Amino acid sequence: MEPIDELRKRYHELASLAGSLAHEIKNPLSTIRMNMELLHEDFENSADPEMRRALRRIETVNRQCENLESLLNDFLRFTRLSTLELKPGDLNAQVDQVLEFFQTQATNQNISIERYLDPDLPSINLDPQTLQAALVNLVKNAMEAMPNGGELVARTRITRKGVALDLIDSGCGMEASALINMFKEFYTSKDSGTGLGLPTAKKIIEAHNARINVQSEVGRGTSFTIEFPTPKRI
């Protein structure tokens, strides 16, 4: 059996290689997409039936390019995540910013966002950019589970070991198989999902020395709980 340090070295080498390959794929893919958009402009005003068929094919290629770009972006975020520079910060402020970002979409979907953010919450060590990316993934997942409206509750609270964030939706919930596999790379039950959003969120949360738990019931909704440790006092 290989020593742990050697396994870690090989893992980082493979992650670096995979990240470089994904980056190299992005460049020609962007060129393809840009040229397809230009072709779309050339064909979109034509009334000729053959041109209209060509336009539909161009739109199909464009959609696939968008899907590939989304997959590559998620993959690059996943492979590049390493040790974070954590500094004391306000969890409530991070949650507020993410919820504000989704407010317009929530209104359009008839989703009520309820905030129960403890004003006495102590600071936690965090990296604002990556933590927000994780929270965006979780809230996005909740919104997609409520296409016909519902309620999203965001609650922060003090626990024995630190602080916790609960994100509770009244959406469709998940089957047991989806619940078991949801944090596995490339697993998705959605037609347009990359299968990296939730695994990346979990990886970011764990890089904050935190843990994430999920409870879900079909037809009743899903609850994500993230527990963060409070910084040790000097």
Assign 81 a pLDDT band (cuts: 50, 70, 90). Answer: low
Last residue of a domain, one of 80, 105, 134: 80
Q: Is residue 142 part of a domain?
A: yes
Count of Cβ atoms closer than 10 Å to residue 181 Cβ: 15
The SS3 of residue 166 is strand
12 — pLDDT class (breaks 50, 70, 90): low
Give a yes or no: residue 146 inside a domain: yes
Cα–Cα distance for residue pair 140/180, rounded to 1 Å: 19
Q: In the β-sheet with 221-229, what is the strand arrangement from edge to edge?
A: 111-117, 150-158, 162-169, 221-229, 211-217
d(CA 6, CA 45): 59
- Cα–Cα distance for residue pair 80/16, rounded to 1 Å: 8
Euclidean distance between CA atoms 74 and 66, whole angstroms: 12
- Same domain for 64 and 158: no
Asked if residue 206 and residue 96 are part of one domain, the reply reads: yes
Please tell me the total count of domains within the chain. Answer: 2
Clarify whether residues 178 and 69 are in a common domain. Answer: no
Q: Are residues 97 and 125 in the same domain?
A: yes
Q: Which of 63, 80, 97 is the last residue of a domain?
A: 80
* 17 within some domain: yes
Characterize 79-117 residue by residue with b for buried, 16 or more Cβ atoms within 10 angstroms of its Cβ, and e for exposed: bebeebebeeeebbebbeebbeebeeebeeeebebeeeb
Are 219 and 106 found together in one domain?
yes
Angle (CA) 127 131 134, round 5°: 155
Residue 141 domain-assigned (yes or no): yes
Judgement on whether residues 113 and 73 belong to the same structural domain of the protein? no
pLDDT band with cut points at 50, 70 and 90 for residue 227: very high
Q: Quick one: average pLDDT of 12-25?
A: 61
How many angstroms separate the CA atoms of 141 and 101, rounded? 14
Q: Which of 80, 112, 133 is the last residue of a domain?
A: 80
Question: Quick one: 60 exposed, middle or buried, by C-beta within 10 A (0-12, 13-18, 19+)?
Answer: exposed
Over residues 115-146, the pLDDT tens digits come to 999 999 999 999 888 898 889 889 998 999 99
Task: Determine the average pLDDT of the residues in 49-72.
Answer: 79
Same domain for 127 and 217, yes or no, is yes
Q: Are residues 210 and 112 in the same domain?
A: yes
CATH of the domain at 206: 3.30.565.10
Q: Is 98 found in the same domain as 153? A: yes
- The pLDDT tens digits for 141-186 are 899 999 999 999 999 999 988 999 999 999 888 877 776 777 776 6
Q: Residues 117, 220: one domain?
A: yes
In a domain, 234, yes or no: no
The boundaries of the domain holding residue 164 are 87-229
Q: Could you tell me if residue 185 is inside a domain? A: yes
- Of the candidates 224, 109, 225, 222, the one whose C-alpha atom is nearest the C-alpha of residue 173 is 222
In a domain, 120, yes or no: yes
Inside any domain, residue 72: yes
Distance in angstroms (rounded) separating the CA atoms of residues 148 and 145: 9
- Give yes or no: residues 141 and 120 share one domain: yes
Query: Do residue 113 and residue 75 come from a single domain?
Result: no
